[in-house]
Amino acid sequence: MLQGNAIIGQSGGPTSVINASLVGAVHAALESDVIDAVFGMRYGIEGFLEENIINLGAESPDNLQAIKTTPSSALGSCRLKLQDEHLPLVLEVLKKYDIHYLFLIGGNDTMDTIHRVEAYAQQHDYPLIGIGIAKTVDNDLFGTDHTPGFASAARYMALSVQQAGILARDMQRVDQYVVFQCIGREAGWLVGATAAGKHAEDEAPHLMCFPERPFEKEKFIADVRRCHEQYGFVSVVCGEGITYADGRPVSASETQDKFGNVEFGAMGGTSAAMALHRIIADEFGFRGEFQVTESLPMCAADRAVQLDLDEAYLCGQKAVEHAQQGTTGVMVAMRRAEGEAYRCEYITAPLAEVAVHAKPMPDEFINAEGNFVTPAFLDYLRPLVGELPRVPRLAGQRIQR
């Protein structure tokens, strides 16, 4: 059995439960017979290259337990795109600190990082076990039923749209519409999740714009007109990465990040919500608002779903369990068990596949009109987010004289 030290890192954007995965992995590693010391990389692979490494085993048990429910990424994060020229230095640092177990908590790019580091170590005859721990609020990781962090972000978005919808309903004589933008570059899971708080036909949201469907301006205008005539106000939820049929982003942003991805929202200096707001204002002359949440649903630990925290912690533990058995080159994933009662089994997905594939919303989760979710999606979602409150309204018995 491979003996040596372990290191854990966090990468990309946080989730409300990412630190639960960290603590789960630390707890399991500290109990392992094959792991000697447990290190943490500060600020992801970028900090690792700088040898910014801390001793997680020196943390007090009470502090570790408290870290489990804190917001953001306790170790710090980065968005460094690992290049081939970085790999020799990565291997040098691994050897220097006798690290033979590598755990990274992140999304697609993070899984690609582990995959490349592990492959490079093997090419140079350095024994290294690399395992990924899934994380993303976007829920677009391949090979898993859902990702830790999605459930909490989904509930956050559902409650936000529900409450903003009540405001829009009551303020319809002032503001006739509201546009709410969700993160998720090419996947509309969070857009769809906002339907969880809708208990009546006239409640928000009314329209959804998914990255999985091309945006059609004239159809959108017709949908807005129909909803306004029917409800007196319009609640629209859109994904940040919605595009026209020719691939142009509705946000019209031309700013790119270090991975070559278009920057949406505040980072791009514009947003899809802003563009939709302008389309509605120009067409109808309505007054309205747009809301862009950006990182808020990614770090709201005070609103984390307990199921999400528990599953994130277990994913961290399972990663170490697989490593102790000699498993490498995989990401810990979840598979929903059959039956009416919700239950997930913990499996693995090959890093080579997770790194290059994404998981958009399947067709059966989006209605034929492409502007709302189906009952099948709500069946998938509800066990994850739990029951959302029904907000009472005045009976509104009008006086007649």
Q: Is the dihedral of CA 99, 101, 104, 105 positive or negative?
A: negative
Q: Is 145 a catalytic residue?
A: no
Beta strands in 269-322 (DSSP E): 288-292
Cα distances (Å, whole numbers) of residue 123 to 4, 120, 229: 19, 5, 65
| Contact between 147 and 135 (Cβ < 8 Å) | yes
| Contact between 331 and 198 (Cβ < 8 Å) | no
Cα distances (Å, whole numbers) of residue 383 to 194, 199, 344: 14, 16, 11
Would you list the DSSP string of 7-34?
A: EEEE-SS--TTHHHHHHHHHHHHHT-SS
Phi, psi at 28, each rounded to 5°: -65, -40
Structure token digits, residue 351: 């890093």
| Contact between 202 and 259 (Cβ < 8 Å) | no
What are the b/e assignments for 86-109, b being 16+ CB within 10 Å? bbeebbebbeebebbbbbbbbbbb
- SS3 (DSSP) at 153: helix
Write down the catalytic residue from 138, 140, 223, 308.
Answer: 138
Neighbours of 357 (CB within 10 A): 13
CA within 13 Å, CB half, 199: 12
CA-nearest of 138, 147, 143 to 105 is: 147
Provide the annotated active-site residues: 138
